[in-house]
Amino acid sequence: MSFKKDFIWGAAAASYQIEGAWNEDGKGMSIWDHFTEKNGAVYQGHTGKIACDHYHRYKEDVAIMKELGLQSYRFSISWPRILPSGTGKISEKGLDFYSRLVDELLAADIIPFPTLFHWDYPYELYCRGGWLNPAASDWFAEYTSAVVDKIGDRVDRWFTLNEPQVFIEMGHMTGEHAPGVKLQLRDRVRMIHNVLLSHGKAVQVLREKGKENTKIGMAPVCGVVIPADDSEKSIKAAREHMFSSYTEESFNAWSNSWWLDPVFFGKYPEESLKHLGKYLPEGWVDDMATIARPLDFLGNNHYHGSYVTANEEGKAVHKSPVTGEPVTGFNWRITPEGIYWGSKFLFERYKKPIIITENGLSNKDWVSLDGKVHDPQRIDFTHRYLKEYKKAAEEGVELLGYFHWSIMDNFEWAAGYRERFGMVHVDYATQKRTIKDSGYWYRDVIKSHGENL
CATH number of 8-447: 3.20.20.80
pLDDT above 70 (res 181): yes
Per-residue pLDDT reduced to its tens digit, 132-143: 999 999 999 999
Q: Is 410 annotated as a binding residue?
A: no
Q: Tell me whether residue 313 is one of the annotated catalytic residues.
A: no
Catalytic residue among 19, 124, 142, 358: 358
413 marked ligand binding residue: yes
pLDDT tens digit sequence for 2-37: 899 999 999 999 999 999 999 999 999 999 999 999
How many Å apart are CA 186 and CA 194, to the nearest integer?
13
Give percent of the chain with pLDDT exceeding 90: 97
Q: How far apart are CA 82 and CA 117, in angstroms?
A: 12
Q: Name the catalytic one among 19, 124, 163, 419.
A: 163
Whole-model pTM: value is: 0.98
Q: Which residues make beta-bridge pairs with 354?
A: 298, 399
pLDDT in tens, 300-347: 999 999 999 999 999 999 998 889 999 999 999 999 999 999 999 999
Asked if pLDDT for residue 247 goes beyond 90, the answer is no
Report the pLDDT value the prediction gives residue 73, as an integer from 0 to 100: 99
Q: What does the pLDDT read at residue 245?
A: 84
17 labelled ligand-binding: yes
Q: Is 131 annotated as a binding residue?
A: no
> What is residue 1's predicted lDDT score, i.e. its pLDDT?
60
> Mean pLDDT, the chain, as a whole number?
97
> DSSP state, 322?
P
246 — pLDDT class (breaks 50, 70, 90): confident
pLDDT in tens, 349-380: 999 999 999 999 999 999 999 999 999 999 99
Q: Known binder of ligand: residue 162?
A: yes
Please calculate the CA angle 383-388-393 and round it to the nearest 5 degrees: 120
Average pLDDT over every residue of 280-286: 97
Annotated binding-site residue? 412: yes
348 is catalytic: no
303 in a labelled binding site = yes
pLDDT digits (tens, 9 = 90+) for 216-225: 999 999 999 9
Residue 252 binned pLDDT confidence (cut-offs 50, 70, 90): confident
CA separation (Å) from 175 to 35, 38, 136, 147, 246? 10, 12, 20, 30, 22
Report the C-alpha gap between 183 and 220 in whole angstroms: 21
Spans of all domains in the chain: 8-447
142-163 confidence digits (pLDDT tens): 999 999 999 999 999 999 999 9
Q: State the amino acid at position 27 in one-letter form.
A: K
Q: How far is the C-alpha of 283 from the C-alpha of 116, rounded, in Å? A: 26
- Residue 344, SS3 per DSSP: helix
